[in-house]
Structure 1
Amino acid sequence: MRTPLQLVLDFLTGGDPVTPSKLAVLSSEPSPSQAKSHAPSVDVGQGKQALQPLVPGFTHPAANRHAQLQGVGVSFRFERARRKSIGFMVGADGLVVRAPNWVTLREVDAAVQEKGAWIVAKLQQLKDRQTEQFQKAIEWRHGAEVPFLGRTVRLCVLERGVGRVHGQDVPTDQILPVTVPPGASVSQVRDAAQVWLKQQAKALFEERLHHFAPRLGVRWQKLSLSSASTRWGSARQDGHIRLNWRLIHLPTSQIDYVVVHELAHLREMNHSPRFWETVGEVMPDYAQRRQALRQAPVDLKAD
């Protein structure tokens, strides 16, 4: 039932803006300093997986409440604020809901359900725009520059049966080699390049997991590559680690932060102060790396 509140729809305008500097980060709650805000305490880190959203769905990196909207799981950030009504804002991070102190959580949840169709539509529109932006950012043709480990490599397209293309004076560690059928389309070149990137990602992620797991005193059992558009990684209590393959675009320092973050969940399936202490045991500068990850270019992480 509709509450006697005026529901204010803040789509990229109004209220405090959500920083549009990234598309997605690993599933995480507020940092220790953010955890002291007036947001209500809800169950976000219990069960088999830390902050596991309903699938498929959208997850705000600092989510502390969840809802099932139009058959889609939406994990959003809820905050108390000095305002006269419940406000909704969809930004690059996802959904943020703000409400005055006198509004009950039941009323907040009812308002979210009432605006469910609008919320899901706006989140999907944002995802689609980011997808288009990413596809335009890289021209999938011979000679194109592709972000790789914080630098760029040159796309080297070979056609089967045609032989090597010209321009082979580029060092092998600075090229992204793909082989495609003669007359291949741009999408075929892109798909072939992404296969190569995923292979590089899996090999590197496994190496970094083997490096950090003993230092944290944990054991991971399985690695899966993710194509999620809303987060960098996740961890399950059974040792199953999922890492977004698009991390391969970023510097190894940021990749290592995500790896350590997820491995730390094998000791602490939450984002409590103890969790951040665990991360800090092997990565004292994690806060700086986390901030750098937040500021990574949007077009590197869109679906």
Structure 2
Amino acid sequence: MPLPAVLAPAEFRHPQANREIRLGDATVAFALQRARRRSIGFTVGADGLSVRAPRWVTLAGVDAAVREKQDWILRKLTDAQARRARQEDGRIRWADGGTLPYLGAPLALRLDPAHRFAGRGAALAPDAATGQPALHLALPHHATEAQIRDLVHAWLMREARRHFTERLDHFAPLLGVRWTALRLSGAQTRWGSAKADGSIRLNWRLMHYGPALIDYVVAHELAHLRVMDHSPRFWDTVAEVVPDYARLRAALRDQPAPLWE
């Protein structure tokens, strides 16, 4: 009977790490930045742990503060690592026959050098082999991954603007608000934002998710035009048009968008 494999100690290393500490069985290399602030701040993102500390705090003091937040830091780093692994599993293959999630369902990519479809550069059309909708790209079969990715991105941006505008126009009257401008974002950590002047920013990566999740984010940002914080009154406003927002919010948090690199 073979002996069980010995698990390697966990290691979390920020790309810009300039300090390292041992937290339990884990090694955490974090990015320390000195800043004009009153207290030490901690951020855990896709890259790892970042710490911002006042200039007067000693390195020993920084380490002590990190150890004090050990449980929270390790939990967040583990969650971020698992999220990154799920993203890697869903990495898009930029080639004929590759797929990407579109409105919550897999969409096949088809290179179509003859441009046998209506539209600019890329368009949805039935797949000759399956009869299912596929994204046809006016590119030669020897197109590079970068060419395919760029053309898909341009098409997805157009689709995002069309779809988001449609949903903003649907929810705004229901909430009694008026939006004035839509801007698209490609941020890795934020799905949207709203300003008091009625301008809305939405992440084009939302187009990977099902319509219900997109509707939740759209309603969330429009609700901020009535309530600019996240108080109970704000969530009551969201619930007026998306009663199951809590379930959708959790689902969005648990389903990372695929990597495009």
TM-score over 0.5 for the pair: yes
CA distance in 2, matches of 1:213, 1:301: 31
Q: Which residue of 1 aligns with 2:16?
A: none
Distance 1:159 1:261 in 2: 41
| Residues 1:160 and 1:136: Cα distance change in structure 2 (over 3 Å) | farther
1:168 to 128, 143, 150: 128
Summarize the alignment of residues 145-160 of structure 1 with structure 2, pairs less than 5 Å apart: 145-159=99-113
Higher relative contact order (CA 8 A, sep 6+): 1
The residue identity in structure 1 corresponding to 2:91 is A
Which of 169, 178, 182 aligns to 1:223? It is 182
Unpaired stretches in structure 2, ≥5 consecutive residues? 1-19, 67-76, 118-126
Relative to 1, partners in 2 of residues 1:90 and 1:195: Cα closer, same or farther, differing over 3 Å?
Answer: same
Give the aligned partner of residue 26 of structure 1.
none
Q: 1:93 to 1:11 in 2, by over 3 A?
A: farther
Matching residue of 2:217 = 258
2:230 is paired with a residue whose SS is coil
Query: Where does 1:122-161 land on structure 2 (aligned, <5 Å)?
Result: 130=84, 137-159=91-113
One-letter amino acid of the counterpart of residue 207, structure 2: I
Indicate yes or no: 2:166 matched with 1:207.
yes
Residue 70 to residue 213, structure 1, CA distance change in 2 (3 Å): farther
Q: TM-score normalised to the size of structure 1?
A: 0.56
Q: Deviations over 1:80-114 (max 9, x none)?
A: xxxxxx895735597598xxxxxxxx97xx949x9
Distance 1:295 1:10 in 2: 26
Amino acid at match of 1:290: R
- Tell me the CA shift for residue 134 of structure 1: 5.1
Are 2:221 and 1:267 aligned?
no
Instruction: Compute the displacement of 1:200 (Å).
Output: 1.4
Alignment match of 1:180 (pick from 119, 139, 154): 139
| Paired letter, 2:160 | A
Shift of 1:170: 3.5
Shift in alpha-carbon separation, 1:111–1:220, aligned structure 2, 3 A: farther
CA shift digits 1:119-162 (9 cap, x unpaired) = xxxx9xx89x959x55971111111121111111111111258x
CA deviation string 1:164-205 (max 9, x = no partner):
9xx624436x21121125631111111111211222111111
Deviation at 1:301, TM superposition (A): 6.0
Task: Name the structure 1 match of 2:258.
Answer: 300
Distance 1:183 1:8, change over 3 A: closer
Cα RMSD for the two superposed structures: 4.4
Taking every aligned residue pair, what percent have the same amino acid on both sides? 46
Alpha-carbon contact 1:11-1:89 (below 8 Å) kept:
no
Unaligned 5+ segments in structure 1 are: 1-6, 15-67, 72-77, 79-85, 98-105, 116-122
Q: How many residues align?
A: 209
User: Contact 2:91/2:260 (CA < 8 Å) preserved in 1?
Assistant: no
Change in CA separation of 1:289 and 1:182 when aligned onto 2, cut-off 3 Å? closer
Give, in whole Å, the separation in 1 of the partners of 2:169 and 2:203.
17
Q: Which has the larger radius of gyration?
A: 2
Matched, 1:279 2:238: yes
What is the identity, as a one-letter code, of the residue corresponding to 1:168?
A: A
Describe the SS at the equivalent of 2:138. Answer: strand
Q: Within 1, Cα distance between the matches of 2:129 and 2:153?
A: 23
Aligned counterpart for 1:240 among listed residues 199, 203, 206? 199
